[in-house]
Structure 1
Amino acid sequence: MKAMILAAGRGTRMRPLTDHTPKPLLEVGGEALIVHQIRRLRDAGIGELVINHAHLGARIEQALGDGSAHGVQIRYSPEGPGQALETGGGIQRALPLLGAAPFLVVNGDIWCDLDYRRLRLDAQDLAEIVLVDNPPHHPAGDFALRAGRARLDGGPRLTFAGIGLYRPQLFADCAPGAFPLAPLLRGAMAAGRCGGLHHTGVWFDIGTPERLQALDGMLRKP
């Protein structure tokens, strides 16, 4: 299985840290956030990665190269400065690199201790997403979860972790360009074709300098 790390976000809320450094290259625990992601994917047996980028994307390619230093193979899907395609559009653009089999997608600005080998797609499903308990900055959550199925209605609601296993067919009717992923997930849920996994371990959404500092402190604890 291949995996894609979404690394094209501008990181506006992280400024001025991201004025000269793309958010995935900000350091926590002594190394770049995206390196933590790469290692966890590698340890789950996923050795072929695709990384998209836009803002300061050349810095990401310079830092990671072909991935061999981290025991993986990396290919890039550049979107260009000022041309970020949002989550859905970025994945759709990278489909030729991801192939015909189901693939894992992980946001580049999260840290999570989930073992990615836990994700499984049922035969009829287009997606399985990871949900976490609602953090203080997102108390309303996104989706409900019942008997392993992600749902639009019901409760309690949980927060989408920015991690999902997808079939390419999820994007079959999408035209090239910028568009979000969430409407595609809602469509799969409405059709009964989206599984869900509740992760109760550690999860950080690195959306502010304060959260970056909190994660750094946790990782540096002896």
Structure 2
Amino acid sequence: MRPAIRSAVTASAAGEGVGANGSARSARASFWKRQLRQWHWISSALCLALVMLFAVTGITLNHAGFFESEGVSELNEFELPPAVVEQLAEIETEAPLSDDLASAIRESTGVDLSGHLARNEYGEMVFDLARPGVDGNLVLDLNEGRAYHEEIDRGTVAMLNDLHKGRNAGPVWSLLIDLAAVCFIIFALTGFGLLWLQARMQPSTWPLTSFGAVLPVIAYLLFVHL
């Protein structure tokens, strides 16, 4: 083969190799871009409502004194049937309430104590009935044979703030917060991946990303860690 022809063939093969490598890189980039976009929008769709909840309650929590109301207190007093008092008095220290006892207490006070533990302390039983936005308790005075039910309603904002913290919200809500946190992490990581792939087309990508990462550290070092 003549040298000129050999050189042309070699150059052609090299060009095809470069083209193949470029196509492979482009295919990989397209694959990751599709995957990142897919998971980014899925995670954003799943956690949109909770992101809004936690964002808004982040403000209301930070200024709770301004947004939360003082609360409306309500105290009710009830007389307990002697038979119920006798059965409760048989609980010496701590025991779960039976369904019959819980039903009898509900009929007398309107308060459902199903699944609660009864603790007898010198003839008095106190049940914590707090829930998001509401502080409440039921006191059973076995010595007097009376029940005292108190509730303090702190309003809707307090309820949302308690949901933000998972306060008195139960295990299911706590699990929902964990699942939401996983969605937030996926949303953030896929967003970072998309930033990485498109950084060349947006020169301000890394300065803005770096500023967002460093700002909390600066604020902590200058104004918190004293």
**Do they fold alike, i.e. is TM over 0.5?**
no
Higher helix share: 2
Larger Rg: 2
**What TM-score do the two structures reach when normalised by structure 2?**
0.18
**What TM-score do the two structures reach when normalised by structure 1?**
0.18
